[in-house]
Amino acid sequence: MKSIHIGTSAPYDVLIERGSLKNSGSLISGVLSSKRAAVITDDTVGSLYSETLMNSLSEAGIRASIFTFSHGEQSKNLSTLGKIYDFLCDEGITRSDFLIALGGGVVGDITGFAAATFLRGIQFVQIPTTLLAQVDSSVGGKTAVDIAGGKNLVGAFKQPALVICDSDTLRTLPDEELACGMAEVIKYGMIRDKALFELVEKHDLSDVHEVMDEIVHTCIDIKRSVVENDEFDKGERMILNFGHTLGHAVEGWHNYTNYTHGMGVAAGMCMITRNFCSAELAARLEKCVEAYKLPTFSEAPMSELLPYCSKDKKCESDSISYIVCEEIGKAEIRKVPVAVFAKLMLEED
């Protein structure tokens, strides 16, 4: 089993091993002493993996109750959160007990926020089952729910007590969800690791599972180093948002329907790179993105995307920070007035 230690204010390990879901009870017992837990999952993941998890918890002497909600971003809201709190009360979960998030980023984000706030904070474990959640959302402690005003606008920093990544669970992911995670993997290569980018560009959606363990391990290690340097998102952590400023804008323009986060990030990375970097680099990134069946551009006119960019969480009063990688593996944060960003991006239109 591979293990990555995350040295944040509340430190923890990420364990990476195929088949580890069925040993999760004993892995959790090695870290948390309570024998009482609540598992939070969605209906799709629950039907695939909750039995294995519940059996493993029971074998380790952990009594667990399970709360299941409908899959999808539309469940990551205050209404579902309220139901989770009610469930935890009904089940008598106390401060010394813990939550387990079994699922993708939606389950991880809402469970983490419930753990950050229920009884003013209880422990939680992440068992991410999407590629995006394994390489990104389960590590680093960002938790949130969406409100009418926007995605992830209510949240907290809350590090998990343990993360268990079983890349066998990724075998049941639909191609579209795998591609979504690959957009983040390509991002990690672009911002920090040329060798990772080169590995990814040698594969495509059909055979990337062959190198999945290496990919997951490398990405988590990059996230570790960024988060250890800037746990509370004041500076360097912003590089993780390469492609995201425009990506979120494209997602918003599509009303978050029929357009995944990964598609937005992929198009966003390509748009920024075409605008600020060499034609050679832009073409190389586009080729890699296309191999994972992700878009390299958006049909939305830039003039209609820009209003979404100025609502981005990375905006401070009238300035915006965006990330440029002029070389593969090197990211630069550029902060400019929103009007300057608009002018620069309209040159691409």
List residues binding ligand NAD (CB under 6 A). Answer: 42, 44-45, 48, 71-73, 76, 103-107, 109, 129-130, 132-133, 136-137, 140, 142, 151-152, 169, 172-173, 177, 180, 261
Using Cβ positions, the residue closest to ligand NAD within the complex turns out to be: 105
Least distance CB 133 / ligand GLY (angstroms): 11
Least distance CB 132 / ligand NAD (angstroms): 4
Could you say which of 109, 136, 193, 312 contacts ligand GLY (CB under 6 A)?
136
Opening angle at CA 176, ends 139 and 284, nearest 5: 80
Alpha helices in 193-258 (DSSP H): 194-201, 212-229, 244-253
Spatial distance between the Cα atoms of 228 and 232, rounded to a whole number of angstroms:
9
In the shown chain, the binding pattern of residues 141 to 180 toward ligand GLY, with x for contact by CB under 6 A and - for none, equals -x--------------------------------------
Partner in contact with 211, chosen from ligand GLY, ligand NAD, none, beta carbon below 5 to 8 Å by kind: none
Partner in contact with 231, chosen from ligand GLY, ligand NAD, none, beta carbon below 5 to 8 Å by kind: none
Partner in contact with 240, chosen from ligand NAD, ligand GLY, none, beta carbon below 5 to 8 Å by kind: ligand GLY
Least distance CB 226 / ligand NAD (angstroms): 11
102 alpha carbon, distance to own chain's centre: 14
Q: Which stretch binds ligand GLY (CB under 6 A): 58-66, 135-143, 160-168, 312-320?
A: 135-143
In eight-state DSSP terms, residue 158 is -
Pairing mode, if any, of strands 98-103 and 36-42?
parallel
Tokens of 62: 């952990």
Cβ contacts of 262 within 8 Å, gap of 6 or more: 132, 179, 180, 181, 182, 183, 184, 294
Opening angle at CA 70, ends 160 and 311, nearest 5: 70
Least distance CB 287 / ligand NAD (angstroms): 24
| Amino acid found at 26 | S
Partner in contact with 237, chosen from ligand GLY, ligand NAD, none, beta carbon below 5 to 8 Å by kind: ligand GLY
Cβ contacts of 151 within 8 Å, gap of 6 or more: 73, 144, 248, 256
Choice between 56 and 275, CB closer to ligand NAD: 56
Report how far apart the first and last C-alpha atoms of the chain are (Å, whole number).
48
Partner in contact with 6, chosen from ligand GLY, ligand NAD, none, beta carbon below 5 to 8 Å by kind: none
Could you say which of 88, 182, 240, 305 contacts ligand GLY (CB under 6 A)?
240
DSSP bridge pairs for 37:
64, 98
Q: Does 140 bind ligand GLY (CB under 6 A)?
A: yes
Tokens of 189: 């290569």
174 alpha carbon, distance to own chain's centre: 17
Q: Which stretch binds ligand GLY (CB under 6 A): 6-14, 41-49, 83-91, 136-144?
A: 136-144
Is the dihedral angle over the CA atoms 7, 230, 314, 194 positive or is it negative?
negative
**By three-state DSSP, how is residue 13 classified?**
strand
Choice between 136 and 231, CB closer to ligand NAD: 136
Tokens of 233: 């998102």
Partner in contact with 44, chosen from ligand NAD, ligand GLY, none, beta carbon below 5 to 8 Å by kind: ligand NAD
In eight-state DSSP terms, residue 77 is B
Q: How many residues bind ligand GLY (CB under 6 A)?
A: 6
Residues in contact with ligand GLY by the rule CB under 6 A: 136, 140, 142, 233, 237, 240
